Chain A
Amino acid sequence: MRYYVQRVALAILLLLAVSMLTFGALNVLGDPLFNILGPVAGDVNNPDSVKMIELAKREFSLDRPLPVRYAIWLSDFVRGDFGVTFSSTGQPPVSGVISERLPRTVTLVAMAQFFAILVSIPWALITASRAGKISDRISTLNAFFLVAMPNFALAVILKFVFSIKLGWMPLTFVADDPLSSRLFQMILPALTIGLPVAAVYQRLLRTDIITTLQQDFILLARTKGLSRTRILLVHALRPSLFSFITVVGLNTGALIGGSIVSETVFRIPGIGSTLVESVLRNDFPVVLAIVMIVASAFVIINLLVDFAYTLIDPRVRR
């Protein structure tokens, strides 16, 4: 019990540190005022401009010292008020933007993870049972290639082959389409992120399965007259999954990073592509909110993976 509490406390501390870092970076390295008002921010001689500057300063609390601004922001943030986006009209509120786009990213990442697991488990089982043979070596080579191809390059290639040349997959994501079409539209983007990750999973799982297959209890299973398939699926797989599960959890962060690229290439309006747009526009509240959400998700998932591990292995269960 103590262990769990400790880990949660650490996670919270971590998130605070992350938020401070991000907030600090944005406010110190960037110039918020410029981004709200544009060139007007520097125009201190024109009384109208000065009035606008004062207005903006008050609205965004820019006249207070940094730590105070941070405290204000933090108290708003945890209550779900992410502020307003930096645009001259102050619309739309950041939380609105996020709540609209977050589900898409979550879906995308979930689909990617789903594909990755779906592909890697059979792949690992087959190559483990044929370890050393030609098919295994070819597969290793393929996996290697897959990992060497950067996300964005893979996205471009997949888009070219499946959307443009073969026409199997739609080209764009249309927000107003019914759910089923939208899910279909996400298949290619999800594969872009999921396939390289599947290669990583497969490599790990394959090694673990091979190790498990050397164990005595597998030999006993053979003496029971069980078929190779049954031995692989029923006896060898489960004990080999422990590292796999940990890696799957920990890799979710990488998937989130991958979604940034995938959303940009396939033009899906999720928080990944929004992050990029906002960054290019210097829209700080949005950037800050997204970074915090992503970091929180990352930290929470790692925490859950930690906890889950103690639940999965019956030998560790008390």
Chain B
Amino acid sequence: MLRLVALFLAAIVAAGCACKAPVTPALFVVVPSSDGHVGKIVVTHGAETRVIDKPWSGQRVTGDGTIEAAKDSEEEVRKAFGTTLSALPGRPTSFMLYFLEGKDELTPESREELDKVFAELKRRPLPDIVVIGHTDSVGGLTYNDKLSLARAERMREMMVGLGIPEERVQAAGRGKRELLVPTEDNISEPRNRRVEINVR
């Protein structure tokens, strides 16, 4: 109830003051993501709407109540937001590792990649990891369900062995239900024998 009153009062004050109240300045800037993708934000100030869709470009609401294109350079924005940007948690990402046929053993190539993947997992202070195992379509449903879970569990054990807390890692098997490369049944396909590691 208190909350409602407070909000309502705030609304009255804001609505009741048609006079020139001091405007709280604000700056909005679009930052390109690490893969270079640039999206779009839309800033609305009073009746004015501005779209920002270029990297490092921005809009500024001034203390006088106007909205204008921000002239801040990339360097200025990086400097002003340095501490803020460095506090952004790691981007959610995923990895794929491949297995030998009918086994919960990694292929030599994936074994080499393992260190890189685990290093990335360990870099995160409090990772939420989901490991999903898959198989190709050789064999029955039950067999593949078991094999896919064994692959996921194997990865999970290795992560826990590396010091990642057990409760941060979930393992699941999808059997042959989610083929990466669609095939007929009973087809040996290396790209389908995999685990997907999702980390947030």
| B and A form one assembly | no
